[in-house]
Amino acid sequence: MARPRSIDDPELMAKLSGVFREEGYDGASLADLARAAGLQKASLYHRFPGGKAQMADEALADALAWFADNVLVHLNGAGAPRARLDEALANLAVFYDDGRLACLLNMLSAPEGRKRPFDSGVKAGFAALTDGFAKVARDAGATGKSADSRAIRAVALLHGGLVMARGMGDTRPFSECLSAIPETLLADTLHEGDTR
């Protein structure tokens, strides 16, 4: 999506992503990133000539790729909508460590008109997830317009749950919101309070 991606150490990217997810783009200093990576700042600049912006860029591309492989593939795949959705939600719970880890889409989208070329990646990430949820809703029988509405609400529940979990220092809001997503997307086939 974003960059052709040369071969790079996945472990390194994971460490860098962790810093960005915890500190945000501005909050993450090169010292933080170097410490987490176990490298010197100059070494990071050898891997990322574009500096911090490139690190964030690749971290985002990495996350989007993981999303595509572990979440979207289920949402957009074949099979029963509810089963597909459960697979995707289970992997989302893993990705966000049950609400303990923030989302790069939120952490990298702060400033409005300024620099940051992340905007297109962030936008694409939200759109891809929304589309995936919408497909599940349509496959479950929702009309196109209703499916779109439900998908937006589902994405908002996911990210709102993450924001709440981080802000309150409590992962329960995230769990609550995740469990609300099936009802939100598939209300025709599920009744509130049923066996789940």
Pick 79 or 111: Cβ nearer DNA: 111
Residue 67 to residue 55: CA distance in whole angstroms: 18
* Minimum distance from residue 63 beta carbon to its own copies (Å): 13
Tokens of 85: 């959705």
Nearest approach, Cβ of residue 98 and its own copies (Å): 15
Query: How far apart are the C-alpha atoms of 141 and 84, rounded to whole Å?
Result: 15
Query: Please, what is the angle between helix 30-37 and helix 51-67, to 10°?
Result: 60
Q: What is the DSSP-derived secondary structure letter of residue 141? A: T
Could you tell me the smallest distance in angstroms from the CB atom of residue 57 to DNA?
A: 12
* Binding-site partner at residue 49 among its own copies, DNA, none, CB < 5 to 8 Å by type: DNA
Token duo for residue 144: 């196109």
Angstrom distance (rounded) from CA 26 to CA 20: 9
Q: Please identify which residue in 66, 73, 131, 160 interacts with its own copies, judged by CB under 8 A.
A: 160
Q: Residue 188 carries which DSSP code? A: T
Kindly tell me which of 192 and 194 has the beta carbon lying closer to its own copies.
192
Q: Which residues make up the interface to its own copies (CB under 8 A)?
A: 22-27, 102, 105-107, 109-112, 119, 122-123, 125-127, 146, 149, 152-153, 155-161, 163-164, 166-169, 173, 176-177, 180, 187, 192-193
